[in-house]
Structure 1
Amino acid sequence: MGLFNAVMSLSGSIDTDLIEDERLARHTSYRIGGRASLFLICHSYHSLRRTIDVLTREEVPWVILGKGSNLLVSDDGYRGAVITLGREFQRSVLSEDGQTMTVGAGVILARLVNDAFSRGLSGLEFAVGIPGTVGGAVSMNAGTRDEWIGSLIEDIVTYKPGAGMRHYRHDDVFWAYRENGLPKDEIILETTLRLTPANKADIRAKMERYLVRRRRTQPVGSACCGSVFRNPAGRSVGAMVEECGLKGFSVGGAEVSPVHANFIVNSGTASASDVVAVIQHVYEKVKETYGVELQPEVKFLGF
């Protein structure tokens, strides 16, 4: 039983790539993180199902990873298996109606935004500049305060380990800012989005407005995880942290961004413990000043 048996069972499996002791810093936008015991790329539904069945049988903990754009991995790594979705989950298909797209969870969100633009389809302009995969975007209902990907979704297909595929229509799921009602124990496989035909020049102009705003207000290009904390109702975390005088506050190589105070960036030498120390300090200072207990938006692995 255990990791050795899992490796033996999965080595050479069809549609499965297996790497032992893989550095997770290579797979996160923070560029931080120790090694995972196993790193598995599942290129098909059959591969994913078999991989999870083996890991479950051998009692090896596992997680699904997209592009790691909203994740902080421990310096000690993760004693388990990290699974990422490969070829079969990186396809997108435009339906005959010319405006409905079925998109795999492994598709890079930036690629989808550009694909929609090239087809003259509007609706995803708000997502320009948002990193990560479609699966990650759906799981956290990525977007702005006013526009999010959930509003475009017609259908979602998930996999419930041990049970099989599940289908959800838009109205079957609760949608809100940075959250949804999808079961947390299910893996998003694909989603169908309904977009709107529009003039390409208008789509491009809207994308450029969003991109200019992001570049002006966020540390685009820096190693970070996006927003660290979720905005409380009617409040801006960035504004509260800035008013606490914490812009530029740092521990080791981790720093509260001078551009946007709800971003903690890796200046190049940060460890996960540096980032955690900054997060804890910001949390405590905001609680002391405003009486508000901030909720993290970043996910933690291996802590």
Structure 2
Amino acid sequence: MSARHTTELEALLVDDRFDGDVYPAEPMARHTMYRIGGPARFYVQTASVGALVRLVEVCERTGVPWVVVGRGSNLLVADEGFPGVVVTLGRDFRTCRFDEEAGRFCVGAGVPLSSVVQEAFRRSLAGLEFAVGTPGTVGGALRMNAGSRDEWIGARVASVTTLSPGRGLVRRSGDEIGWDYRTSSFAPDEVIVECELSVEPADPFFIRGKMEASLARRKKTQPLTDPSCGSVFRNPPGESAGSLVERAGLKGMRIGGAQVSELHANFIVNTGDATARDVKDLIELVQAKVSETYGIELQPEVRFLGFA
């Protein structure tokens, strides 16, 4: 970036007092589990709430598109990249402490969910075993209400603090949020900042047993060694998306470097050189085929970024 401060955003990002790290034209393939995606105009890791507030305010005021991402575990970024600011939560959003009195973890949205699961296990605290092996951050897990039909993270949320343009920081109790299977009621421009998760003491052998069973099931049924975004589609009511895709004869189907996994048909994997277009075309092909065969419209769970 040259010294000519052409925009208010650039002026903010080159200011020494800005509490964050700024990467111009950063390839998003480095920040998604798919290992796919063109450059973000700016990739910014904000280290504090103050920096996040300033950055969001400037983007809103100047009309620059912005989005907050976690570890990119359910994100497909276009080959052309994203013409705005990709924000990620750094230092102050990566703290996790346990409040003994309340029996709750106070967790920053940038903390990997897996590390909270491990910390709970270390303290013989139950309630988060279902999330073992989940690759994303706590913020991402809350937004998509990570879990299964039977157990999900929203059920464990005692409170959540978010930041919204124009409203600032707001703290709500967990039951003020709408939680549903793989969805939540957070607004698209609402940034999850931190939350409190309720847990309860339990026998460590019971906790370990649940975690090991869950991990074993994952390893056996999911293509964990190939780059993917996790499950691509939400399960329709009373149905399994993977089963529908498999019954429609699409297991192993390929477009370019993207392939419907041979192991689990609700996963589309990057076999090595997939482009975002390959993945998106394959998603659309699967949707069309399942709709034509069963009359069911599969809803993507993956987030799309930078597509027209």
Equivalence for 2:264: 260
**1:63-100 residue CA offsets vs partner (Å, 9 max, x unmatched):** 00100001000000000100000010000111132721
Asked if structure 1 preserves the Cα contact closer than 8 Å seen for 2:38 and 2:79, the reply is yes
Q: Which amino acid aligns with 2:11?
A: M
**1:36-78 residue CA offsets vs partner (Å, 9 max, x unmatched):** 0001011110010011112222221110010000100000000
Equivalence for 1:149: 153
Query: Mapping of 1:275-286 within 5 angstroms?
Result: 275-286=279-290
Q: CA RMSD in A?
A: 1.4
Identical pairs, percent = 51
Query: Mapping of 1:99-178 within 5 angstroms?
Result: 99-178=103-182
Q: Counterpart of 2:21 in 1: which secondary structure?
A: strand
Equivalence for 2:249: 245
Equivalence for 1:37: 41
Runs of 5+ in structure 1 lacking a partner? none
Q: Which amino acid aligns with 1:160?
A: S
**Range with greater deviation from structure 2 (181-190 or 262-271):** 181-190
Q: Counterpart of 1:222 in 2: which secondary structure?
A: coil
Asked if structure 2 preserves the Cα contact closer than 8 Å seen for 1:229 and 1:297, the reply is yes
Cα distance in 2, alignment partners of residues 17 and 63 from structure 1: 16
Q: Counterpart of 2:264 in 1: which secondary structure?
A: coil
Cα distance in 2, alignment partners of residues 170 and 83 from structure 1: 25
**1:142-163 residue CA offsets vs partner (Å, 9 max, x unmatched):** 0011100001111000011122
Query: Mapping of 1:69-88 within 5 angstroms?
Result: 69-88=73-92
Q: Which amino acid aligns with 2:61?
A: R
Q: Counterpart of 2:146 in 1: which secondary structure?
A: coil
**Range with greater deviation from structure 2 (91-100 or 192-201):** 91-100
Equivalence for 2:235: 231
Equivalence for 1:274: 278
Asked if structure 2 preserves the Cα contact closer than 8 Å seen for 1:3 and 1:58, the reply is no
Cα distance in 2, alignment partners of residues 35 and 73 from structure 1: 9
Cα distance in 2, alignment partners of residues 158 and 205 from structure 1: 34
Q: Counterpart of 1:245 in 2: which secondary structure?
A: coil
The offset of 1:215, in angstroms, is: 0.7
Q: Counterpart of 2:230 in 1: which secondary structure?
A: coil
Asked if structure 2 preserves the Cα contact closer than 8 Å seen for 1:66 and 1:136, the reply is yes
Matched residue pairs, number? 303
Cα distance in 1, alignment partners of residues 252 and 119 from structure 2: 37
TM-score, normalised with respect to structure 2: 0.95
Q: Counterpart of 2:239 in 1: which secondary structure?
A: coil
Q: Which amino acid aligns with 1:260?
A: H
Of 27, 39, 50, the residue aligned with 2:31 is: 27
The offset of 1:268, in angstroms, is: 0.8
Equivalence for 1:298: 302
Asked if structure 2 preserves the Cα contact closer than 8 Å seen for 1:22 and 1:37, the reply is yes
Asked if structure 2 preserves the Cα contact closer than 8 Å seen for 1:135 and 1:190, the reply is yes
Cα distance in 1, alignment partners of residues 257 and 182 from structure 2: 28
Cα distance in 2, alignment partners of residues 66 and 56 from structure 1: 20
Equivalence for 2:11: 8
Q: Which amino acid aligns with 2:13?
A: L
Cα distance in 2, alignment partners of residues 96 and 205 from structure 1: 24
Asked if structure 1 preserves the Cα contact closer than 8 Å seen for 2:95 and 2:111, the reply is yes
Runs of 5+ in structure 2 lacking a partner? none
* Residue 214, structure 1, aligned to residue 201, structure 2: no
Q: Which amino acid aligns with 1:72?
A: L
Q: Counterpart of 1:230 in 2: which secondary structure?
A: coil
Q: Which amino acid aligns with 2:170?
A: R
* Residue 54, structure 1, aligned to residue 58, structure 2: yes
Q: Counterpart of 1:69 in 2: which secondary structure?
A: coil
Q: Structure 1 residues 8 and 14, CA, compared in 2 at 3 Å: closer, same or farther?
A: closer
Of 180, 203, 207, the residue aligned with 1:203 is: 207
The offset of 1:4, in angstroms, is: 4.2
TM-score, normalised with respect to structure 1: 0.97
The offset of 1:13, in angstroms, is: 3.3
The offset of 1:14, in angstroms, is: 3.2
Asked if structure 2 preserves the Cα contact closer than 8 Å seen for 1:254 and 1:274, the reply is yes
